[in-house]
Amino acid sequence: MAGGPTAGPRAPVPGDRGANGRVDHHGDTRRTLAPARGGRLQGGSGPRGLLRLALPAKGRLREPAFHLLEDAGLGPEQPGDRALAFPCRNAPVEVLLVRAADIPEYVQDGVVDCGITGIDLVRERGADVHELLTLGFGSCRLEAAVPEESTVATVDDLVGATVATVYPRLTRELLPADVTLVDVTGSVEIAPRLGLADAIVDLVSSGNTLRTNGLRSLGVLLESEAVLVASDDERAAPFASMLRAVVEARRHRYLMLNAPESALPKIAELVAPRVPSVLPLAEPGTVAVHALVPSADVWRLLPELEAAGASSILIVPVERLSA
Ligand code: AMP
């Protein structure tokens, strides 16, 4: 029996309950109901001024997000299998593990100070947060697709079609055509084969899953990757700078090479817009050249540098890079 009248003097009831000890219509006096969410909740700054950071508790963003904290030198404690929160040894940051899809709203409402999640999830929730920094992992695209045999050629041809998706908001917002949405919670690719929908809108990274399921992409609606979001960018700024130095470093390599002095103009042109450091070598007429180059350009640069006369080429990773 919960919440029923009791004989004799009433036991004191917590201040947030009515005189009968009830807080709701469920007849349970032991527990209060949380207020409906959707506004800016109190909270945020953790105990002792800790910055509260939400990380995905599972899924493909969890490990890379944790490694980013490690590489930034925060010293995150390895959480146990069931841990939902853990501290960092080297920085006043408390990490809370929650569902990636809930992070935009938690940040918006101030339940945490900042969070790492997918751009797709932030936009789908329509969360009012600042996207401070894209993090270089979790890259994927939100794409519209139809069965191979479909006569639909472009997204504009989807007018009046039924579209299955777990991204109803983005689908409505980004599809140029007026469509009927079929809400599903997963296995979206199977929906056309089940006769549930004419087309799908879903996340794609390599495109293999689409092909395996006999689907053809109609195009990209949104590019996504992991992002650092915050409600108050000033408070999160020092933390964002720590992560930015690592993210920028990962996007670059440090290039060292030897070359005849005469090759310098061509080599400087190849590594532009960065201005290289040039050091004289013991052998007259030869120099060492050092420069930062984008990681993505290394495969193209190497043969071109060799052709320009470079030798003893070393490419090494960079640990931190700040402006
Ligand atoms: P998960 O928790 O593993 O379902 O993934 C959560 C987030 O990972 C998504 O919301 C995306 O931001 C990101 N992601 C990256 N690649 C993919 C992909 N191929 N499929 C689904 N999610 C992806």
Q: Domain 252-317, CATH 3.50.50.60 — does that match?
A: no
Tokens of 165: 């998706």
Query: Percent of the chain, pLDDT > 70?
Result: 85
Query: Percent of the chain, pLDDT > 90?
Result: 80
> Average pLDDT, stretch 249-265?
97
Tokens of 95: 């990490």
For ligand 1, atom 2, name the residue with the nearest CA: 59
Tokens of 278: 């040039």
Rounded CA-CA distance 169/78 in Å is 36
CB 100 less than 6 A from any atom of ligand 1:
yes
pLDDT tens digit sequence for 208-231: 999 999 999 999 999 999 999 999
Q: Identify the residue whose tokens are 């960092």.
A: 88
Domain boundaries, given as residue ranges, for the chain: 47-138+226-247, 140-224, 252-317
Q: What is the pLDDT of residue 34?
A: 55
Mean pLDDT of the chain: 88
Confidence of residue 45 (pLDDT cuts 50, 70, 90): low
Closest CA relative to residue 95, chosen from 132, 118, 62, 123: 62
Distance in Å, CA 244 to ligand 1 centroid: 22
Q: Do domains 47-138+226-247 and 140-224 have the same CATH topology?
A: yes
Q: Which amino acid is at 252?
A: H
Tokens of 180: 């009927």
At 133 the three-state DSSP class reads strand
CB 29 less than 6 A from any atom of ligand 1:
no
Confidence of residue 30 (pLDDT cuts 50, 70, 90): very low
Q: Please say whether the beta carbons of 118 and 138 come within 8 A.
A: yes
pLDDT tens digit sequence for 66-98: 999 999 999 999 888 788 999 999 999 999 999
CB 120 less than 6 A from any atom of ligand 1:
yes
Domain 47-138+226-247: give its CATH code: 3.40.190.10
For domain 140-224, which architecture applies? 3-Layer(aba) Sandwich (3.40)
Residue 60 has pLDDT above 60, yes or no: yes
> Average pLDDT, stretch 165-178?
94
Distance in Å, CA 84 to ligand 1 centroid: 20
Q: What are the CA-CA distances from residue 63 to residues 78, 137, 260 (Å)? A: 11, 10, 45
Residue 4 has pLDDT above 80, yes or no: no
Q: What is the pLDDT of residue 10?
A: 44
Residue 19 has pLDDT above 50, yes or no: no
Rounded CA-CA distance 7/15 in Å is 20
Residue bearing the bigger pLDDT, 256 or 34:
256
- Average the pLDDT over each of 19-28, 52-61, 67-76, 105-114 and give the range with the smallest value: 19-28
Q: Out of 131, 202, 203, give the residue to mutate to test ligand 1, the one with the largest number of ligand atoms within 8 Å of its CB.
A: 203
Residue 105 has pLDDT above 90, yes or no: yes
Tokens of 164: 């299955």
Q: CB under 8 Å to 194, separation ≥6 — which residues?
A: none
Tokens of 18: 């009515």
For ligand 1, atom 15, name the residue with the nearest CA: 138
Q: Please count the helices (runs of H) and the strands (runs of E) in the chain.
A: 8, 15
Rounded CA-CA distance 226/81 in Å is 23
For ligand 1, atom 21, name the residue with the nearest CA: 203
> Average pLDDT, stretch 16-38?
43
Distance in Å, CA 60 to ligand 1 centroid: 6
Q: What is the pLDDT of residue 12?
A: 41
Question: For residue 87, what are the β-bridge partners?
Answer: 94
For ligand 1, atom 4, name the residue with the nearest CA: 59
Let me know if 25 is exposed, middle or buried by CB neighbors in 10 A (0-12, 13-18, 19+).
Answer: exposed
CB 203 less than 6 A from any atom of ligand 1:
yes
Residue 131 has pLDDT above 50, yes or no: yes
CB 59 less than 6 A from any atom of ligand 1:
yes
Rounded CA-CA distance 221/224 in Å is 10
Residue 28 has pLDDT above 80, yes or no: no
Residue 288 has pLDDT above 90, yes or no: yes
Q: At what angle do helices 298-308 and 264-271 cross, to 10 degrees?
A: 170
> Average pLDDT, stretch 175-185?
92
Distance in Å, CA 120 to ligand 1 centroid: 9
